Structure 1
Amino acid sequence: MFTKAITRRPSEEMVDGITTADLGKPDFALALKQHDAYCQTLSDLGLDVTILDAEPGYPDCCFVEDTAIVCEHIAVIAPLGAPSRQGEQETIEPVLAKFKPIDHVAAPALFEGGDVLQVEKTFYVGLSARTNQAGADALGAAVAPHGYDYKVMDCGPSLHFKTDVNYIGNNTLLVSPFFAEAADLDGFERIVVEDDEAYARNCLFINGTVIVPDGFPKTLAKVEALGQPVVVLDMSEFRKLDGGLTCLSLRF
């Protein structure tokens, strides 16, 4: 059960954030409203939400998930793989230090939280343009003393591992076709989300409820068929920056 979350308000500079999407620039005012709804949903689901101010000079600062990995015993601060984002983690660390012991991974070992999926005592780490083998191994070494294992996987063509693979409870993953037969995910039930609804692979599982991005009816129907409570949120402005539901918070 999650009890806390850390989020950061979007910056007006988000209109210049990193993106591979061809969806135009975000509407900042609408992004603020969507972020408010996101934070309220986390609160409604029982989390004590810390909302940090936007960080000047960092257009992608609202995507706090990338800055650290947080589990029951420890928070591991990420070195961040995108050069323009390096430094965001420095203001996250003192906030996390109020709740968890802190460890660090230092460059040239690189990882971002968007490439790391925790399911119970295992961390699945995807190798990407933002996360390298040294970063995966360093993260694994940091969490191993606390009883955690890790598996390293190829991200394929996607930005982050959690662009393509997300846990939604009941031993079930939402996956892209690339991961439909991945041996390292054997033992999970897998729901394949095709490329026409690729953004909806990034759902967020919070205390028995699945948060699903608005506008993806086929994925929504598959998630609803599992019988768990579902909340639908409009994430249109964050989608323009390749940002999904998991990206906007650190949960622990």
Structure 2
Amino acid sequence: MANVSPYGTFTHAVVRGIPETFGKHEGEGRENGDASVDLAKAQRQFGCLTGALRQKVGLQLIEIPPDPELPESWRIEDVAIIQGSTALITRPFKQQRRSEAEAVRRVMSELNLTVVEMGSEEGNTAGATLEGSDVLFTGKEFFVGISSHTNQRGAEVLADTFKDFAVSTVPVCGGTRLKNICSMGGPHTIIISNSDGAKRTLKMMEQLTDHHYEVLTVPEEAAANCVYIKGTSPRLPGFLLHRPAEECPDSVSAFQKLQDYTLLPTACSEASKLGASLSSLCLLINRKFSYL
């Protein structure tokens, strides 16, 4: 069976620290134009995120040290797509980001995952680019956003890797990533921004799928990216990490509709200035044994 564990079941979270060079070489995707980033604040927010994953959710945390030579390596979601026991090492759009995968690949191997490489720029993967922030897994299927960072060939490599699941591509406009405008708010719920572009993307997703999803619309685009993790017992049905009221005040009432979940407001303002989101900062894995 392709997916024996309930959606959102995870045992480990892999993160990579915020380097001193945070924001030094990132010119695109800024949420607030030319707003400068606060390194110390970004590191504090990263610490709060990892604390929530470890202490409140109960995941085993694996932290890769920051690398000042790789200023965007904290965007760890981009370099691997994990489903079941398979980890696909992606090929980011920027050439200088591709060496970020080395440390992640080592962790995936140490966790005894089957590591699949997109390969070199030669052969049947020539020209393929794929970043995890453009990939939404719903538990039933994959949606891949075709953006300035992920192309059709990259989506085809993902489909070749995860053959047990349908893979559909949808356009993402305006230089953003698919998971900047939508995420999963549970096994059957898509959380999506109220922007016109997001509405168009959602309409296409609904046309392409054979499954029914509930939709929770949030008025602020920054609030659309959340991280859902299933609880470890029936009394803990699930956790939802989401942007706090200080960052997305208009979306608080929407999250309060999810009464069955433990809501964990998690700040992400500094990473968000660089076009990232909560899910950008972690890779979630389901393994039933300890990391060695």
Compute the TM-score of the two structures, normalised by the length of structure 1: 0.93
Correspondence for 1:184: 208
> Do residues 242 (structure 1) and 275 (structure 2) align?
yes
1:1-252 equivalence runs, <5 A? 1-18=9-26, 19-21=28-30, 22=33, 24-43=35-54, 44-99=56-111, 100-106=113-119, 107=121, 108-144=127-163, 147-175=164-192, 176-182=198-204, 183-184=207-208, 187-194=212-219, 197-207=220-230, 208-214=238-244, 215-227=247-259, 228-252=261-285
Unmatched tracts of structure 2, length 5 or more:
1-8, 122-126, 193-197, 231-237, 286-292
2:170/2:201 contact within 8 Å kept:
no
The structural deviation recorded for 1:219 is 1.9
Q: Alpha-carbon deviations, 1:42-99, whole Å to 9, x = none? A: 1120210101111232111111000000111200000111233121112210111112
CA distance in 2, matches of 1:89, 1:170: 29
CA contact (8 A) 1:65 1:246 kept: yes
Distance 1:187 1:16 in 2: 42
Deviation digits for residues 128-178 of structure 1 (CA, Å, limit 9, x no counterpart) = 11111111001110111xx22211111222421101120101411112333
Query: Please, what TM-score do these two structures have when normalized by structure 2?
Result: 0.81
Q: Are the equivalent residues in 1 in contact too, given 2:53–2:61 (CA < 8 A)?
A: yes
Q: Which has the larger radius of gyration?
A: 2
Unaligned runs of 5+ in 1: none
**Corresponding residue of 2:289:** none
The 8 Å contact of residues 17 and 241 in structure 1, kept in 2 or not, is answered as: no
Q: Secondary structure at the match of 1:86?
A: helix
Using the TM superposition, give the Cα deviation of residue 192 of structure 1 relative to its aligned residue in structure 2, in angstroms. Answer: 2.5
